[in-house]
Amino acid sequence: MSFDDHVNQLIVEKGRAEDFSGAVLIQRGGETLFEAATGYAQRSWKVANRMDTRFRIASVSKLFTAVAVLQLVDQGKLTLDTPVRDVLELKTTSIPPQATVYHMLTMTSGMADWFDESGDWEVEWEALCREHPIYLLRRNQDYLPLFVHADPVAAVGETYQYNGAGYILLGLLIERVSGLSYFDYVCQHVFSAADMLRSGFVALDDVADGVAEGYIPIEDENETIIGWKRNIYSTTPEAAADGGATSTALDLVRFSSALREERLLSPALTQQMLTPHVLVEEEGSRGYTWKYGFANMFLLEKNGHLVRWGHTGEEDGVSCRLYHYPGRELDVVILGNQSWCAGDLGWQLHDLILEMIP
């Protein structure tokens, strides 16, 4: 079978088993190698997902925040060494005074997160939602009480630890320096510049054209899916600088292309954006070395060869991947509108790519 046939069979099987609902796009140098949509954008009326369906993309949109901040660095309005706490006038908080833009971008600030994802995710998230009504989290500043007075978890620059709070602060920094709201800045200077025509920031309670609803499976004691519920009470209603934008598969390929082609940043900062900066795991999943950069996760072989870069996005009712394979000039986008459906598919596509595409 051809690569296209293998991938199509995989998507069909996952769709039938209700293991995946969403859209998949694989492009190489502007040529589409594979595209398919499966499942429902709206289950009650059985409205099918399409390739132009708009999906919430969770933390994949951290990439947009990183580009926006680096654009302001290009303009001379910030530097990578700018202390974030001082600019945002948060001196009475627990934000480390030495933590800079660079530390926020690379998740090495040592500061506490607004939600710690390292423990029992479901239990911790339920506890947070009971104590802090998530329907009130609608602007970047709404997240500040959740973390600014919490004790740091590590010394500044000591280690990588996944941290969305640092990106919330970067969003506020973008607003302070640019004079625009975070959302307006990204729409004007990232989405428009990359020709991302169907991307934006859509709240869960908005009525918007072509947006997939997010679904959480209901399982019985044997982990068999017996029903579905929407994610409207289990994830934040609006996007923030640490995630939650709405986009399409094609728009994310356009973003990847615009970034690589230096249409969003100067050559120097484009190189910085596409370079790993800090170690995550020496021998992590699948034996790869994992490193993080500016909102960018890199997979490297033991000899240092870069296999892929990109970002994941996961929240209740949302599961997404944006990957670029530089050695193959390949973009892979997986956009899912049900919980935890993109991860296994992403690795299966990864294996097929390495096996079948030179």
pLDDT (0 to 100) of residue 116? 77
Question: Is residue 111 exposed (0-12), middle (13-18) or buried (19+ Cβ within 10 Å)?
Answer: buried
pLDDT (0 to 100) of residue 122? 78
| pTM for the model | 0.97
Distance CA 83, CA 245 (A): 27
Distance CA 292, CA 11 (A): 29
Residues whose CB is less than 8 angstroms from the CB of residue 126 and which lie 6 or more positions away in sequence, other chains included: none
Q: Write out the two tokens for 234.
A: 């289990």
pLDDT (0 to 100) of residue 169? 98
Residues whose CB is less than 8 angstroms from the CB of residue 249 and which lie 6 or more positions away in sequence, other chains included: 23, 24, 25, 35, 51, 333, 335
pLDDT (0 to 100) of residue 126? 81
Cβ atoms of 188 and 204 closer than 8 Å: no
For every residue of 112-150, DSSP letters joined together read PPSS-TTS-HHHHHHHHHHHS-GGG--SGGGGGGGTTTS
Closest CA to 339 of 212, 211, 217: 217
pLDDT (0 to 100) of residue 167? 98
Point out the residues of the chain with pLDDT beneath 70: none
What are the contacts of 172-177 at 24+ separation with CB within 8 A? 172/88, 172/140, 172/141, 172/241, 173/69, 173/72, 173/78, 173/82, 173/84, 173/87, 173/88, 173/101, 174/65, 174/68, 174/69, 174/72, 174/241, 175/140, 176/87, 176/88, 177/72, 177/77, 177/78, 177/87
pLDDT (0 to 100) of residue 135? 87
Residue keyed to tokens 């309005």: 77
pLDDT (0 to 100) of residue 283? 84
Q: Write out the two tokens for 181.
A: 């709201």
Stated as kind and residue range, the H or E segment containing 6 is helix 3-16
pLDDT (0 to 100) of residue 115? 85
Superfamily of domain 3-356: DD-peptidase/beta-lactamase superfamily (3.40.710.10)
